[in-house]
Amino acid sequence: MDGSSGTLAGYGALVTGGGSGIGLASAIRLAQDGAAVTICGRTESRLEAGLAAIEEQAPGATAQWIVADVVDEDAVQDAVVLAAEPTGTIDVVLASAGGSDSIGPVHTLDTDAFKRTLELNVVGTFLALKCAAPRMAKAGRGSFIGVSSLAASRPHPWFGAYGPAKAGIEMFLQQAAIELGPSGVRVNAVAPGLVDTELVGAVVAGGPVLEDYLSQMPLGRVGTAQDIAEAVRYLAGPESSWVTGQTLRLDGGHTLMRGPDFRGFLEPVFGADGLRGLAAPADGTAG
C-alpha cells in the first residue's frame, strides 16, 4: 500500500516495542491508514531504523519515536504524552513489547529471569494501559491492544514464565475491558502463533521443531508480522467498534491442536532426565 487511505486520519497511536517485528509492522500498517504513530522501545538505533521504515512504507505519514522502557512508569507516561501531541488525542495503543528470559525445566529456572519475564510482559502491558486509559476515557473513545501468544492457551513445556505471563495479559485485559467499556474504551488482544521474526529465527530456519509446529497448524504455514499487523489494524479502527474483551488467536489454527514440542532444542542442553525433573534444581539443593 502506498500512502494513506485516511481511514485512521486524526488518530494518535502509540506502539511499544515498535522498533522491530510485530510492533514495527503494525506501526507501519497504522501509519498507512493515516494514524500519527509514535514508536517506543529501549534501543535508539532500532527506533531510528523503525522510523525510516515507516517513512518509506507510509509516505507522508506523521511518525516519531521515543526511548522508553515499558517497565519504567515515568518513561511510559512520557511516551503517552508524546504520542498524543500530533493529534491532541491518543486513540490507539499497541502494547507489543514482550519476550522471555526464562526457559528450561521448571525446577531449574532462574528466579530473577522468571520475574523479569513476568514484569516485561504483564507489568509492561499494565503500565501502558494505566498511562493511556485516563486520556482515552476522557475522550470517550480508544482502542488498547495487548499482545498475548499461543503459549497463553496451549501449554508450552519448558517455556518458563512466558506462557503464564501471556495468560496474565489476557486476564488483565478482560478485566480492563469491563472497567473501561462504559467510557467507550475498547480493550482487546492479539495472540500470535509462530511468526517469522528475528526472535524465533532458529525455529523458522527449519528442523524438527519447525516440523512439529507445522504439523499442528491446519493452515500449514508460519505466520508473518504482516498477518498480525492486519489484525491490529482491525482492532484499532472503527470496523471493530463493537469488539472488546476479546483475544484474536492468529496462529493458522494451531490453537485447535497441542502446543509445540521444543524437545529437539532443549534435550541436548538439559538432557532427557532434566526435561522430566531429574536434574539438580537451579539453587543447587537436593531434589
Give the residue numbers marked as catalytic: 162
Distances (CA, A) of 51 to 44, 86, 92, 105: 11, 16, 18, 39
Dmax over CA atoms of the chain, in Å, equals 63
Q: What DSSP string runs through the chain?
A: --S--STTTT-EEEEETTTSHHHHHHHHHHHHTT-EEEEEES-HHHHHHHHHHHHHHSTT--EEEEE--TT-HHHHHHHHHHHHTTTS---EEEE-----S--B-GGG--HHHHHHHHIIIIIHHHHHHHHHHHHHHHHT-EEEEEE--GGGTS--TTBTTHHHHHHHHHHHHHHHHHHHGGGTEEEEEEEE-SB-SGGGHHHHT-SHHHHHHHHT-TT-S-B-HHHHHHHHHHHHSGGGTT--S-EEEESTTGGGSPPP--HHHHHHHHHHHHHTT-SPPTT----
Amino acid at 142: G
